[in-house]
């Protein structure tokens, strides 16, 4: 049976809520940066429930592959082509590049290397944009069990990332490598568009049709 944890209200320079609890080994754990008390309460209930069921994993030890599996399984509002589209992008693009890395250890360099790898693999700029948009939703989305909301991460490693400009001129289509090497990239600022299911749902069917592989 899990020991009870408690919620820590904002104090001093810390403007966010936090939770404290003891893991199965008896070690005290702290998770913070919850903007609302309700978010902290929901996370604490989730943690204590996982401890009771024997499924608890310390945030620092959860790999991206495991997190991605749980994230997709926990999306209640996505079904059909959107769900299969997410699964395709996760399994074909994200897990092979980031799967073995602990979510808490993900840094800008990891994401930037993943984007460079997608460019080298000659994926379309649209596929790269869709992949990074989904990744940021998984890591820092405002809705659902994002890594930030679950306490697996404490920052958004996609911030400042540069992506290829969308669109390839017809006369460059036959030479993607040359285009990829010279393409103008644009940076992700503090607010990347489409960081939630509302904007992401539109490309689920497109990914299923093949955009996740090219």
Assigned domain for 201 exists: yes
The CATH number of whichever domain residue 76 belongs to comes to 1.10.150
For the residues 58-76, what does the mean pLDDT come to? 85
What is the predicted pLDDT for the residue at 7?
94
What is the predicted pLDDT for the residue at 27?
79
14 shares its domain with 80: no
163 shares its domain with 190: yes
CA triple 7-195-129, angle to 5 deg: 140
Choice between 16 and 175, residue whose per-residue pLDDT is larger: 16
Tally of structural domains, the chain:
2
35 shares its domain with 118: no
* pLDDT tens for each residue of 93-147: 999 999 999 998 999 999 999 999 999 999 999 999 999 999 999 999 887 788 8
Residue 38 pLDDT greater than 50, yes or no: yes
- Of 24, 19, 1, nearest to 9 (Cα)? 19
**66, 74, 130 from 79: Cα distances, Å:** 20, 11, 18
Question: Which structural domain, as residue segments, surrounds residue 71?
Answer: 64-211
What is the predicted pLDDT for the residue at 58?
77
- The side-by-side arrangement of strands in the sheet containing 28-34 is 6-8, 17-22, 28-34
Assigned domain for 1 exists: no
CB-based contact 59:104 (threshold 8 Å): yes
Assigned domain for 113 exists: yes
- Measured distance CA(95)–CA(92) in Å, rounded: 7
Assigned domain for 138 exists: yes
pTM for the model stands at: 0.61
Assigned domain for 165 exists: yes
């Amino acid at each position: 049976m899990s020991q009870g944890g408690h919620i820590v209200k904002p104090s001093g320079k810390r403007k966010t809520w936090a939770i404290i609890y003891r893991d199965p080994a008896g070690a005290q754990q702290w998770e913070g940066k919850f903007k609302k008390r309700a978010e902290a309460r929901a996370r604490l209930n989730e943690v204590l429930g996982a401890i009771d069921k024997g499924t608890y994993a310390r945030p620092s030890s959860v790999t991206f592959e495991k997190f991605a599996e749980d994230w997709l399984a926990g999306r209640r509002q996505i079904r059909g082509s959107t769900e299969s589209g997410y699964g395709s992008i996760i399994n074909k693009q994200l897990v092979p590049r980031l799967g073995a890395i602990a979510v808490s250890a993900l840094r800008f360099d990891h994401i930037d290397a993943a984007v460079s790898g997608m460019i080298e693999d000659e994926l379309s700029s649209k596929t790269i944009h869709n992949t990074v948009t989904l990744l940021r939703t998984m890591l820092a989305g405002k809705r659902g069990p994002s890594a930030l909301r679950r306490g697996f991460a404490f920052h958004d490693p996609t911030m400042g990332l540069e992506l290829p400009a969308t669109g390839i001129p017809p006369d460059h289509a036959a030479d993607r490598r040359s285009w990829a090497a010279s393409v103008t990239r644009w940076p992700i600022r503090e607010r990347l568009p489409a960081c939630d299911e509302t904007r992401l749902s539109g490309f689920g069917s497109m990914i299923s049709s093949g955009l996740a592989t090219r």
